Structures are given as C-alpha cells and as structure tokens.
Amino acid sequence: MESTYVNKDEEIDRLINDLKSNGSLDYGFHDNINPVYSTGKGLSRQVVEEISEIKKEPDWMRRIRLHAYEIFMSKPVPTWGPDLSGIDWENMTYYSRPDEVKATNWDEVPKEIKDTFEKLGVPEMERKYLAGSIAQYDSEGIYNSIKKEWEEKGVVFMDLDSALKRYPDLVKEYFAKAVPPSDNKFAALNVAVWSGGAFLYVPRGVHVDMPLQTYFRINGEATGQFEHTIVVADEGSSVHYLEGCTAPVYSKDSLHAAIVEYYVMKNAHGRYTSVQNWSNSVYNMPTKRAWVEENGNMEWVGGSLGSKVTMIYPSSYLRGRNATTSNLNIALAGPGTVKDTGAKAIHMAPNTSSKIIAKSVSLGDGKSIYRGLVRINKDAVNAKSHVQCDALLINDESVSYTMPHDEIYEPTANFTHEATVGKIGTEELTYLRSRGLSEDEASSLIVLGFLDDVMKEIPMEFAVEMNRLVKLEMSKMGAVG
C-alpha cells in the first residue's frame, strides 16, 4: 500500500501532538434511570397503536404505522450480509419514555439525564459551535433549542414528535417519502414504532452557517431506538446537520434502526455528518437517503465505531440535472465487530456526478466490508462517478472485503473504481519510533494518519473526538499502550 501519511514532517508533528495531548473517553457508562413509561417487551399491533395513542398523533400517522407494521411482519430478516440471528425481537423494548419533560433550557432537564449529556459534552458543543441542538434519551427527545437568529429567519428545528404537533402538514409532505416502509425490514420497523429524531426545515435562500446537531443516547438494556429524522434544504438554501450516538455495554443486545430522509431542493446544498460510537452490544441498522434535485449538492461524512454489527449505506438519488453528491466515510471494526458499510449513488438525470471515498480499519478479529452501489440510468447523459475504497489491517486476524455493485446503462457515462488493502509496515513504524514514539503510539498514529483526509472534513470538535475514540478502540486490544 502506498504510504501517503508520512510524507510531510509538519503533518507528522501535528498528529504526534494530538496523540500525546488528547485523552481517551469511554462512553460505555450507563445510568440507573427508570423510564416513566414503557410498552414492555415484544412487538405487536397493539404496541404500535399504543405508541401512537400515547403520543396523541393524527389518524393518518397511526394508519402509516400500522401499514408499516404489516410490512415488517411480512419481510424476512436479511441474510445476504452479516449474521443477524442474534437480534432478540421478542425480548426487546420498542418504546421507553425517560421523562415527561421536553426542555428548551438545559436547567429544565432532569439532573440525572442532564449529567449524562454533560459527560458527553453536548451542552458545551451547543454553546460554542452550534446553531441549535436536540438531545434524545432512549425513545424520546428530552431537549431542543435553536438560536433566535435562525428561528427569526424561518428555520424549523425540533424533535419530530414536536414537529408533528406544530407542523403536521409539513411533516406529512416528507415523512416516509424518500424511505418508504416497503424499502427494507428495518425501515418498516422504524416507520411502525418510530419515536424522536429531528425535523429540520431551512426556507428558500437561507444559508445556515453554523451546524445543527442531534445527539442520541441509548441507556436501557435490550432496548430499541428508532428515531426518524427529516432534513429539508429548500430551494437555494444550505445547511449542515450533525448526529452523534453512544450506548453503554450490556450483556443483552440492543437495536438501533433509524431513518434519515434528506431533501436537497434546486440549487440547495446539504451536508450530513455522523459520528457513531455504539457499544459492542448494539446492532446498528439505519437507512439514510437523500433526494437531490437540479443543481443540488449533497455531502455525507460519517465515522462509524463500535457496535456488534453495523449495516449502513447512505444513498443519494440524483434526480435533477447537474445534481452532485459526495460520500466520505470511516469504519473501524474492532474485536468481535462486523462493519458492513458503504454508499449508494443513483444517477437519474444528465450531468450528475458522485464521489465515494470509503476508509476502513480492522483490529483484532474485526471484519470490515465495503458494499456499495452505483447505478447510472439510461439517459443520464455525461454522468460521472468515482469510487475509492482503502482498507488498513492491523494484524493477521483482521479481514477486509470489497463488494462493489455497479450498473452502468448510459454509454456516455464516466465511471472509475479503485481499491487498496494494506497493513502497517515496518518502514512506517521505524520512521515514527525515530521521532520518540513507542511502537503502540506509532501504530495509533499511522491509523489516524490513514484516516486524516476524511477527518479534515469533520467539524473540529467531532474530529478531536474521533481521534480519541479511535485510540480508545485500539487500546482495548492492546494496540496502544
């Protein structure tokens, strides 16, 4: 593998300083907080109706939920990817409400829950860097806020449950359109039992120059979290939406099956950044999709760490002429982890373009899989797509696979794909040890350097946290002293 991460002394010095100055944070703690309401174990039509009733939803939403439940029950568990037989559907809690409070001020959040988000640094992030934030704990958003200057410009940002009450027609226009319940079994489950998530609407011509963030926390054991997020960047607007996710370590597995629907209108720009740090007792099965209209641009940036099994493939449907998308993602497969990740780009119009860069690191017996789809439809004249997959193996037990699926139906299209797999070499280790690092520190630095070009696309605070999380994951297997 070509060594691209030791060719500049100043870059090495910067990363060495970062390695020595940042501590590691472990988010595997859990809180002894009993929910004020729970549907109990298992899923049935009655549970779906109960969720809708307790939320006092309109009848059209109840009907959508019940229809999705029937689809979920009719679809088999996917067998074309990682083993999902460990999901215990009957002994999982599908809805759990931590508190009755929905706060707009951190002082109003119950102390135990607030302490959790203080540990995660969410309030500090909001104060320093964000235009607004939402905090979700298990099944419900317990806090949301947006800065007054953006609210005055017509930006709507709140948990989806609140948006359904305040803007029912707007929610109805977009809910389950880009990702219908028929899409896959986990999408059907989400639409049936969804709770929380975010609704973000940016009016025409408004450019939000600060990110807006939602932070999701699973605290309960054998719990499902099914947030549903809708982002609409109306014509000529721009917005950057961030998500962070964590969960404690339990002996019984939990399930995260979210949906993200992102609508990028004509001449608009949308960006989605996600840093997920699930514990190794979580099955992470989200569905994320963007519709991109004429001259629109959609960027996906993701960092996936932890979990037992992750299957995630953010997709962009390039529906309008000159629509573009890029997808940069990092997957770290630690011991006992399977990361089946990738991206999809569907070219439906002329002069559309897509760029997919996927980087994976496998530690211990971790398994990383790139599974992507590029489809260039007939009459998508002069469409362009480039896919690049780079994998780094830390030891002999770790493995990596690349499984691209490409369908090119337009003869004028331009498509390229490249993939590399490599291991940490003695030359790199020797170079870094000559600069005063131990072998374990040098290994960690090489991993961070391998990921650095994607790290640069992540907001500063998220990038710092990604560095910490990568080092933490490596330290668990003794790769870092």
pLDDT band at 430 (very low <50, low <70, confident <90, very high): confident
Mean pLDDT score, 112-140: 58
Token pair for 51: 């969720």
What is the structure's pLDDT at 146?
A: 78
The phi and psi torsions of 50 (rounded to 5 degrees) equal -65, -45
What is the structure's pLDDT at 464?
A: 64
Cα–Cα dist 27/30, whole Å: 8
For 259-307, the pLDDT digits (tens) are 999 999 999 999 998 887 777 888 999 999 999 999 999 999 988 877 8
pLDDT band at 20 (very low <50, low <70, confident <90, very high): very low
Count CB atoms within 10 A of the CB of residue 288: 24
User: Longest Cα pair distance anywhere in the chain, in angstroms?
Assistant: 68
* Residues near 180 by beta carbon (within 8 Å), at least 6 away in sequence: 187, 191
Percent of all residues in the chain with a pLDDT value above 70, rounded to a whole number: 74
Mean pLDDT score, 217-235: 84
Range in 347-351, 454-458, 463-467 with the lowest mean pLDDT? 463-467
What is the structure's pLDDT at 221?
A: 59
Token pair for 41: 């174990």
What is the structure's pLDDT at 111?
A: 59
Cα–Cα dist 481/472, whole Å: 10
Cα–Cα dist 48/62, whole Å: 8
- For residue 67, give the amino acid letter: H
Are 243 and 214 in contact, with CB atoms under 8 Å apart?
A: yes
282 vs 348, higher pLDDT: 348
- pLDDT averaged over every residue in the chain: 82
Range in 21-25, 290-294, 306-310 with the lowest mean pLDDT? 21-25
Mean pLDDT score, 442-455: 73
pLDDT band at 225 (very low <50, low <70, confident <90, very high): confident
State the SS3 of the chain. CCCCCCCCHHHHHHHHHHHHHCCCCCCCCCCCCCCCEECCECCCHHHHHHHHHHCCCCHHHHHHHHHHHHHHHHCCCCCCCCCCCCCCHHHCECCEECCCCCECCHHHCCHHHHHHHHHHCHHHHHHHHCCEEEEEECCEEEEEEECHHHHCCCCEEECHHHHHHHCHHHHHHHCCCCCCCCCCHHHHHHHHHCCCCCEEEECCCCECCCCEEEEEECCCCCEEECCEEEEEECCCCEEEEEEEEECCCCCCCEEECCEEEEEECCCCEEEEEEEEEECCCEEECCEEEEEECCCCEEEEEEEEEECCEEEECCEEEECCCCCEEEEEEEEEECCCCEEEECCEEEECCCCCEEEEEEEEEECCCCEEEEEEEEEECCCCCCCEEEEEEEEEECCCCCEEEEEEEEEECCCCCEEEEEEEEEECCHHHHHHHHCCCCCHHHHHHHHHHHHCHHHHCCCCHHHHHHHHHHHHHHHHHCCCCC
424 vs 401, higher pLDDT: 401
314 vs 461, higher pLDDT: 314
Cα–Cα dist 396/183, whole Å: 37
Q: Are strands 156-158 and 199-202 parallel, antiparallel or unpaired?
A: antiparallel
Mean pLDDT score, 42-69: 97
Residue 31 has pLDDT above 60, yes or no: no
Partners of 201 in the β-ladder: 156, 232
- For residue 10, give the amino acid letter: E
pLDDT band at 449 (very low <50, low <70, confident <90, very high): confident
Percent of all residues in the chain with a pLDDT value above 90, rounded to a whole number: 52
pLDDT band at 138 (very low <50, low <70, confident <90, very high): low
Mean pLDDT score, 377-403: 93
What are the extents of the domains in the chain?
A: 8-478
Cα–Cα dist 227/193, whole Å: 9
What is the structure's pLDDT at 466?
A: 64
Helix 460-476 to helix 9-21 angle (10° resolution) is 70
What is the structure's pLDDT at 2?
A: 36
Mean pLDDT score, 205-226: 80
Residues in the chain: 481
The phi and psi torsions of 354 (rounded to 5 degrees) equal -140, 150
Residue 397 has pLDDT above 80, yes or no: yes
What is the structure's pLDDT at 27?
A: 43
pLDDT band at 404 (very low <50, low <70, confident <90, very high): very high
What is the structure's pLDDT at 275?
A: 80
Mean pLDDT score, 91-120: 62
Mean pLDDT score, 339-358: 97
What is the structure's pLDDT at 340?
A: 96
Residue 393 has pLDDT above 70, yes or no: yes
Cα–Cα dist 297/293, whole Å: 8
For 234-268, the pLDDT digits (tens) are 999 999 998 876 654 444 678 999 999 999 999 99
Cα–Cα dist 350/360, whole Å: 32
Residue 427 has pLDDT above 80, yes or no: no
| Alpha-carbon dihedral 5, 9, 14, 17, rounded to 10 degrees | 110
- From 246, 276, 274, select the one nearest 260 (Cα to Cα): 274
Are 460 and 243 in contact, with CB atoms under 8 Å apart?
A: no
How much is the pTM?
Answer: 0.85
For 166-190, the pLDDT digits (tens) are 999 999 999 999 999 999 999 999 9
pLDDT band at 213 (very low <50, low <70, confident <90, very high): confident
Place of tokens 């067998």: 79
Range in 189-203, 236-250, 382-396 with the lowest mean pLDDT? 236-250
Cα–Cα dist 446/442, whole Å: 6
Cα–Cα dist 419/198, whole Å: 35
